[in-house]
Amino acid sequence: MAADRVSVSVCFPAYNEEATIRAVLEDASTVLLGAGVDYEIIVCDDGSSDRTGAIADEVAARVPRMRVIHQSPNRGIHDTFERLYHEATKEFVFLNSTDGQWDTRVLLDLLPLSAGWDIIIASRRDRHYGALRGAVSWAFNAVPSWLFGVRTGDAGAVKLVRREIIERFTLVSRSPFSEAERLIRASRAGYRITERPTDTRPRATGRARGVNRRLVLEACGDVVRVWRSLRASPAAPKSTNDRTAESSNAHHL
């Protein structure tokens, strides 16, 4: 499948990113327009208390194929991600960030791989984490292998996901562990997952919200919920996509 035949929903969660969001969205529009890809851009402002939402609206009024969703009050990372996933309409979904860490040009490296893979993870060569967050990230990615026999690689990285996978699986996670849960369920059902090592930039402004005591506790609860759910309802082999039948067990992580 050539990259110019792939359609993709490029999604951006945003919370108090007024310092970076304009440049990120304008750059994304420029990159996608020049790539000749069938795309849409969806931005979800998660109840920002600064000008993030207003700036997103200003950009959307000037560039094509961009729409902005406003949530109020703030609903958090998990709910914002899932809202964006389910607002997407294209064949693939690429969920990026508005803090400037991920260049939208990464997508152009992932799209050619969609001919042979259903999920492509842009795994980070350097996560720019301190000791505490690095330890939490390590555990976040180790648990799926230990408990579920599935290597998720860099589950918290941006990724290109076939929308069919998002629609197929009902997740039980209520925290960002949903990103790992989706990979676990997809792998167990036979979808093909790979990763492409990617360079990212450290966050220049704002505050990362990926790790705090509440989210860690919620993620621990989600591990138990996913384990119980999978024991109660083992995944049936994937049968809806004949195009991938011959290599349904492929996994490159």
pLDDT at position 225:
95
Work out the pLDDT band at 201, boundaries 50, 70, 90: confident
| SS3 per residue for the chain | CCHHHCEEEEEEEECCCCCCHHHHHHHHHHHHHHHCCEEEEEEEEECCCCCHHHHHHHHHHHCCCEEEEEECCCCHHHHHHHHHHHHCCCCEEEECCCCCCCCCCHHHHHHHHHHCCCEEECCECCCCCCHHHHHHHHHHHHHHHHHHCCCCCCCCCCEEEEHHHHHHCCCCCCCCCHHHHHHHHHHHCCCCEEECCECCCCCCCCCCCCCCHHHHHHHHHHHHHHHHHHHHCCCCCCCCCHHHHHHCCCECC
* pLDDT per position as a tens digit, 136-195: 777 777 888 888 999 888 888 999 999 999 999 999 999 989 999 999 999 999 999 999
- What is the domain extent for residue 231? 3-247
Does a structural domain hold residue 112? yes
Average pLDDT estimate for 225-236:
83
Q: Is residue 252 predicted with pLDDT exceeding 50?
A: yes
Average pLDDT estimate for 64-69:
97
For residues 210 and 183, which has the higher predicted lDDT (pLDDT)? Answer: 183
Q: Is residue 216 predicted with pLDDT exceeding 90?
A: no
Work out the pLDDT band at 231, boundaries 50, 70, 90: confident
Does a structural domain hold residue 253? no
Does a structural domain hold residue 219? yes
**CATH number of the CATH domain containing 193:** 3.90.550.10
Give how many domains the chain has, as a whole number.
Answer: 1
For residues 22 and 130, which has the higher predicted lDDT (pLDDT)? Answer: 22
Q: Is residue 22 predicted with pLDDT exceeding 60?
A: yes
pLDDT at position 247:
40
The model carries a pTM of: 0.84
The mean pLDDT of the chain is: 87
Average pLDDT estimate for 72-84:
94
